[in-house]
Amino acid sequence: MNMSACRLWFVMCLNTHRAHPDLRPGFSHGDPGRGDHPRKSGDRRLHGKFKEKVKREEVDRRVRKDTEQYSEKFSEDAKSVCQMLLTKNPKQRLGSKAGAVEVKAHPVFKDINFKRLEANILDPPFCPDPHAIYCKDVVDIEQFSTVRGVYLDTADDTFYSQFATGCVSIPWQNEMIESGCFKDINEDEPEENMVLNVEEKMHHPVPKPKRGFFYRLFRRGVRVTSILLFWVFFFF
């Protein structure tokens, strides 16, 4: 991943149909802080007509000045939470003061028990489709993310050096995987069997090595010396 390119199109990965009111004069599309608030009704709030061709400056103006339109699909609570999240002034926006607690306290979420939801006891009321592509045309994104040339300088090298890459070299990790050592260490085995194996190894008696006749005869140095001296004086 080219991190220096992120300075040009860090968060503006959205099309002209969805944009955040933080867009304001003097800030390019590459500045961080842009959010993508999906539209519940799926309408084109920045386009007055279907497939209307709008310039980037007009898109910025509509985001900063115009008020979004809501269809009859929105309930009063849904309309309220969207309006509070899309407030032009970020300091007055829902969640800017108390964080997520302020958002959870909105009436639109009154039927959701967040403690049980965060504990995975309840299923979320809505799950986005992971295979869905929320973009009508790739061209809508490309007009914001065109990068002609990227050059790394000293500032980029300093930025990269702040990331911890680990103390274990990649060749050593590959060797551990190819040799099968990693698989042996991380082999899936029931915990009970592992405990039994450890206990067996700890309490299993270690067999004593067998010794020969001469070892048993000469293991006691004093007695052996006395016996040898007796034999020498007796026979000679």
Residue 213 forms part of a structural domain: no
Residue 51 forms part of a structural domain: yes
Residue 36 forms part of a structural domain: yes
Q: Which domain holds residue 63?
A: 1-71+132-186
Residue 195 forms part of a structural domain: no
What is the spatial distance between Cα 114 and Cα 103, in angstroms, rounded to a whole number? Answer: 11
Residue 147 forms part of a structural domain: yes
What is the pLDDT, as a whole number, of residue 20? 52
What is the pLDDT, as a whole number, of residue 61? 86
Q: How far is CA 3 from CA 144, 150, 154, 156, 159, in A?
A: 17, 10, 13, 8, 9
What is the pLDDT, as a whole number, of residue 142? 53
Residue 63 forms part of a structural domain: yes
Residue 55 forms part of a structural domain: yes
What is the pLDDT, as a whole number, of residue 107? 92
Residue 19 forms part of a structural domain: yes
What is the pLDDT, as a whole number, of residue 84? 92
What is the pLDDT, as a whole number, of residue 136? 57
Number of domains in the chain: 1
pLDDT 10s digit of each residue in the chain, 236 long? 333 333 333 333 344 444 555 544 444 444 333 334 444 444 444 444 456 777 888 888 888 888 888 888 889 999 999 999 988 888 899 988 888 899 999 999 998 898 888 888 888 888 877 777 666 565 555 555 555 666 778 888 788 777 656 666 677 777 878 888 777 776 655 555 555 554 555 555 666 666 666 666 556 554 556 666 666 565 65
What is the pLDDT, as a whole number, of residue 44? 47
What is the spatial distance between Cα 144 and Cα 5, in angstroms, rounded to a whole number? Answer: 13
List all residues 6 or more positions away from 112 whose beta carbon is below 8 Å from its beta carbon. 104, 122, 125
Q: How far is CA 209 from CA 55, 78, 206, in A?
A: 90, 82, 9
What is the pLDDT, as a whole number, of residue 166? 63
